[in-house]
Chain A
Amino acid sequence: MADFRRFLDPRVLNRLARLELKARYLVEGFIAGMHRSPYRGVSVDFAQHREYVPGDDVRFVDWKVFAKSDRFYIKEFEEETNLTCHLFVDASESMAYGSTQDGETITKWSYATWVAAGLAHLLLRQRDAVGVALYRDGVERMVPSSNGRGQLQTICEVLEAVQPGGQTAIATAVEQMADRATKRGIAVLVSDFFEDVPRILRAIEQLRYRGHEVILFHVLDRDEVEFPFERMTRFEGLEELPKLLVDPKAIREAYLAEFGQHREELRKACATNQVDLVHAQTDSTLDKCLVAYLGKRASRLRAKR
């Protein structure tokens, strides 16, 4: 059996051609890496018994059946299918940045599409409905939420068809989506959030106001976090920002301070609004995004009961 866990590594995923394939491998790797079944829990209905095999959680052994038959049976539950997830993926020009490490260039956009596709595949596998909206200063492309067959393929095609460009205006995009994503669910925003925090906050509030649970996947490149440049560099601003020729060493401290302040403001805004903020760096594995989503999904289901 193939070791799917290696597909959690973005550098490995980067070598795969199709996004759909990437999503599948990603999820398979994610599941194989978990010690417990992702489908456990009390929020699902009983489906059937099956014979115990080593490795199963002993908590799910049906002791009554054991008392009667002297054999171990595991209770299996049928999952709910009424959960909807809205994926908002930032397709602005700033997402096109990607540093090269070990010969691999992984842009924030690539990383964001993998996260989106992976989540979609995971959701559809659980029979949740999932939809995708690609936005810049407005919604660029969108796939309405569905759990139908071929939904993953549609989502992947849309994600692959779009290239990052233009400016970001997340609040506008969320406003445009508000009328279309009426069913309450989980709203997942995948972006670098290079916007003013109040505007991001306004978008979050809108989603919250419509009853969505919100998760922010803050996708960043390591260069943006650490600013490791040494040589004289001319930074050419994306999203129509000006160029700037500076000595990176001289400005590094100030940049990191500005950047850290922005992240701190975003963190505080999320905490205030009970929004999960997941930092995803393009050189880190993708499983924590999926874990964060599953946690949010579980809590959502608990709240429903």
Chain B
Amino acid sequence: MHFLHPLLAVGALLFLGPLIIHLLNRQRFQKVPWGAMRFLLAAHKRTRRRVRLQNLLLLLLRCLAVALLAFGLARLFVKDVGGALGGGVSSEHLVLVIDASYSMAHRESGAERSLWDGALEAAEKAAAEVIGAGGEVTAILADEHPRVAGRNNLRALQRYRGPGSGGCDLAGALRLAMQEVESVREVEKRSGSALVRRQRVLLLSDLQRANFAESAEAASAAVRAAAPTRSAVASAVRELVGAQVRVEALGLGPKEIASNVLIAELSVDQAVAVGDPLAVAVRVENRGPDPVSNVELSLWIDGLRQVAESGFALAADETATRTVWFNLPSAGQHALEVKLSCSRAGDIEVDNARGLVVEALEAPAVLLVNGRPASRGADYERDAAELLRQYLSFELEDGGLGRFRSEVLSWENFRERLRSPNELARYRAIALCDVPPEARLAGIENLGAFVARGGGLALFLGERLALGTPAADARAAADYEAMLRAPASVLGDAGEAAAELSLLPGKLSGIARAADPSFDYFRIGEVDFTYPAFRGMSAPSAQPLVRGPAIFAFAKLEPAADPLVRVGARYDDFEKWPFLVERRFGSGRVVCITTTASLAWTELWRQDRTAILLLHDLFDELVRPALPPSTLRVGQSIQWSTAYEPRELELIDPVQRSVELAAERSGASSGRFPIPPVMDEGEDARAETPGIWRLVAEPPVGTAGFGPGASESFYFAKNVDADEGRLEYETGDALAQRFPELALRAAGEATQSEAEATAEATRFLLWIVLIFLLAETLLNMVFSRSRTR
């Protein structure tokens, strides 16, 4: 038996009231000198016993009535009714699903305890009741990676000082609850128990709206992208209910939108060179019902405060984007953090800082291999390497283009240099411009390793492949493809079973030419403007820059059917042969331009604006290592690929604590090493800390491109889910409409079954009180009649 309002149950002590009144009345009496005492004494002697008995009975009835009334007001309810009745129902199996999303860290204004503390307390209370009645309890932590936190022992929960900094995969947690339910049933089935265990899932949550986002309209794109499984909450609930499991939700959060000012997003332009100004766009949101003033933003580079913007105000529910400009101090990766200061009671603090890894580039070295050097001087009409060098050294006054240190090398000299494994390491990109096909290229494995480690290789096909007859062209094409074959192990591609892979991202099948260059020519037709090389020309007014120039001949390259292959643009010929094809190898990439960089095959390069934009954007992309996204949500796993198996892998958290990771290869030759996803216990709890993280890998001795003791670092930023900062909560009515199977109640309320039992108990108590009052009246009447007789 439990009470909904336990304090009112204390009122049952009022049963002493009638007793006290009786005793007090015995002290408060009037004195009457009485003459007819002999009759009074005789009457008293005759009725003494009966009156005493009657008084005692009445006193008991009144005491009982008062106590029962108090119990009725305290709303006595009965839990585990089935168990109490003993009708073949054994004790309960309770699955506690505890919302561990970061919105649970919210403290209401003036409150010392967070919603998380309340959830833990409610969980322990519910668990104690069930375990005390001989039942079983399973606790599931529902963050972005739902997991069982304990069975029949909630001490493990005490290790969690706060919720995670991520979102809540509620559907996943409910599916996990379903698994727990089924496993318990399986165990009972195997044990041959005839008793049916009642099973219940209790969700302890702040009922944040984002966690229950069901429809596409309800959830923002960010929420859908972050947690696509949320739409499955309803089906998970239905599945549980269909399995005869009662699903209850205990709303712990406030009913109104709570205040929170946060940094919703932090973004920068693409990486720039040292000394170039970098714009950091900070999206700040006031997600509260009241305006705020004196919002301060400070920008930190590598832990040092750089610039600050202060004193701006935000209206209620306003979103503002502030742009902060600064210069990167040195080349390489830098930890950039923006912190928001807006002291207001009740705000959650974790989302007041966001980090980002930005990379400052030195002027990257580009090697331009000239396959057809001019016999004397520069022949821009035919010498593609020289043409590229001219364009890549071109610098706009506003610094909007990257800077390159280009070096032109003849094909013969390049072949010599290729034999040494460390010769290519100083270049960020290599362009093979119209090099002749050869049966074998010595040192091709070094070129493959260069690409796999993150180098960029550009292949400009051209006249050296055009030998005059289709048969000769085909032979040249085959040779060219064979020349670029490198060991697959060097390229670090786990998907290829072959021992060798060609760096050419497709298969060459000859040359296509315009019938009469005076009247006939090709153009670039389809363009993927999301491809970095064409991004600068994506504006409608700029698109003719790439689509306009005439192209008279190109090599027919059929792209490989590989997900790592990407076609950037195609010609407008009948067969739509590709103009630009890219394939990733390890951390690097190979880009193949199917027409020569000389002016003999195309007028593309005659257009300065087109050539400068296209080539600068292309080489910007080529010199940039193909890194995974450097900004993650807390809890999001990351994959980092290396071409070697690291001897040591060390994770350094935002407060410079080091954790040695026991990374294992995820594939036989993949070279990918997943960082363990969000862990929440012990040392791994640090993996949840928002901020800039660093992963340091030490390659094995003798790894190409690494000297003795060399290591490779990779930075990434972990940020909280911005949608978790939107402290909007589901109301009972709205949730009941969308999840009719879910029995929702606020903290302190009884469950539906408990409420029914309560109503029943209350009616029962009222009937008892009524019967007792009736009994008292009848008793009085009976006593009166007996006295009269």
- Say if A and B assemble together: yes
Complex Cα–Cα for A238 and B33 (A): 6
Would A255 and B39 count as touching, CB distance under 8 A? yes
Interface size on A, residues (CB 8 A): 36
Would A231 and B26 count as touching, CB distance under 8 A? no
| Residues of A with C-beta under 8 A to B39 | 255, 258-259, 262
CB distance from B170 to the nearest CB of A (A): 67
CB distance from A215 to the nearest CB of B (A): 22
Q: Which of A70-78, A129-137, A139-147, A245-253 contacts B (4 or more CB under 8 A)?
A: A245-253
Would A94 and B35 count as touching, CB distance under 8 A? yes
Per-residue A-contact encoding for B30-52, CB less than 8 Å = 1, 0 else: 11111111111111101100010
A233 contact from B32, B37, B41, B47, Cβ within 8 A: B32
Is the CB of B319 closer than 8 A to any CB of chain A?
no
CB contacts under 8 Å to B, within A88-128, are: 93-97, 108
Is the CB of A242 closer than 8 A to any CB of chain B?
yes
Would B44 and A246 count as touching, CB distance under 8 A? yes
Is the CB of B469 closer than 8 A to any CB of chain A?
no
Would A235 and B54 count as touching, CB distance under 8 A? no
Complex Cα–Cα for A196 and B54 (A): 31
Is the CB of B29 closer than 8 A to any CB of chain A?
yes
| Residues of B with C-beta under 8 A to A237 | 34, 37, 40-41
- Most chain A CB inside 10 Å of its own CB: which residue of B32, B39, B787: B39
Would B34 and A251 count as touching, CB distance under 8 A? no
CB distance from A225 to the nearest CB of B (A): 9
| Residues of A with C-beta under 8 A to B26 | 232, 245
Complex Cα–Cα for A297 and B718 (A): 127
Complex Cα–Cα for A169 and B25 (A): 37
Complex Cα–Cα for A97 and B29 (A): 19
| Residues of A with C-beta under 8 A to B41 | 237, 241-242, 244
Given contacts A231-B29, A244-B41, A245-B26, is CB(A251)–CB(B47) below 8 Å? yes
| Residues of A with C-beta under 8 A to B51 | 247, 250-251
| Residues of A with C-beta under 8 A to B54 | 250
Is the CB of B656 closer than 8 A to any CB of chain A?
no
Per-residue A-contact encoding for B179-193, CB less than 8 Å = 1, 0 else: 000000000000000
Is the CB of A236 closer than 8 A to any CB of chain B?
yes
Would A235 and B43 count as touching, CB distance under 8 A? no
Is the CB of B55 closer than 8 A to any CB of chain A?
yes
Is the CB of B657 closer than 8 A to any CB of chain A?
no
Would A232 and B29 count as touching, CB distance under 8 A? yes
Residue of A nearest to B784 (CB): A253
| Residues of A with C-beta under 8 A to B55 | 247, 250
Is the CB of B375 closer than 8 A to any CB of chain A?
no
CB distance from B721 to the nearest CB of A (A): 74
A235 contact from B28, B34, B46, Cβ within 8 A: B34
Is the CB of A283 closer than 8 A to any CB of chain B?
no
Would A244 and B40 count as touching, CB distance under 8 A? yes
Would B30 and A241 count as touching, CB distance under 8 A? no
Is the CB of A46 closer than 8 A to any CB of chain B?
no
B28 contact from A93, A232, A242, A259, Cβ within 8 A: A232
Would A254 and B38 count as touching, CB distance under 8 A? no
Is the CB of A63 closer than 8 A to any CB of chain B?
no
Is the CB of B788 closer than 8 A to any CB of chain A?
yes
Complex Cα–Cα for A97 and B46 (A): 25
| Residues of B with C-beta under 8 A to A238 | 33-35, 37
Is the CB of A234 closer than 8 A to any CB of chain B?
yes
Is the CB of A239 closer than 8 A to any CB of chain B?
yes
CB distance from A135 to the nearest CB of B (A): 16
Is the CB of A229 closer than 8 A to any CB of chain B?
yes
- Most chain A CB inside 10 Å of its own CB: which residue of B35, B37, B43, B47: B35
Given contacts A232-B25, A232-B26, A250-B47, is CB(A239)–CB(B37) below 8 Å? yes
Complex Cα–Cα for A224 and B54 (A): 25
Complex Cα–Cα for A217 and B788 (A): 28
Would B36 and A194 count as touching, CB distance under 8 A? yes
CB contacts under 8 Å to A, within B60-116, are: none
Per-residue B-contact encoding for A250-285, CB less than 8 Å = 1, 0 else: 111111011100100000000000000000000000
CB distance from A239 to the nearest CB of B (A): 7
| Residues of A with C-beta under 8 A to B40 | 235, 237, 244, 246, 251, 255, 258
Would B33 and A96 count as touching, CB distance under 8 A? yes
Complex Cα–Cα for A113 and B54 (A): 44
CB distance from A292 to the nearest CB of B (A): 23
Complex Cα–Cα for A252 and B43 (A): 8
- Most chain B CB inside 10 Å of its own CB: which residue of A224, A247, A258: A258
Would B44 and A239 count as touching, CB distance under 8 A? no
Residue of B nearest to A253 (CB): B787
| Residues of B with C-beta under 8 A to A192 | 35-36
Interface residues of chain A, those whose CB is within 8 Å of chain B, are 93-97, 108, 192, 194, 221, 224, 229, 231-239, 241-242, 244-247, 250-255, 257-259, 262
| Given A192-B36, A194-B38, A233-B32; 7 other pairs, CB 8 A cutoff | A97-B33, A194-B36, A232-B26, A234-B31, A246-B40, A253-B787, A258-B39
Interface residues of chain B, those whose CB is within 8 Å of chain A, are 25-26, 28-44, 46-47, 51, 54-55, 784, 787-788
17 A-B interface contacts by CB (under 8 A)? A93-B35, A96-B33, A96-B35, A224-B36, A232-B28, A236-B31, A236-B32, A241-B38, A242-B41, A244-B37, A245-B26, A247-B51, A247-B55, A251-B47, A252-B787, A257-B787, A258-B46
8 closest residue pairs by CB, A with B:
A94-B35, A253-B787, A254-B43, A237-B37, A235-B34, A241-B37, A232-B29, A97-B35
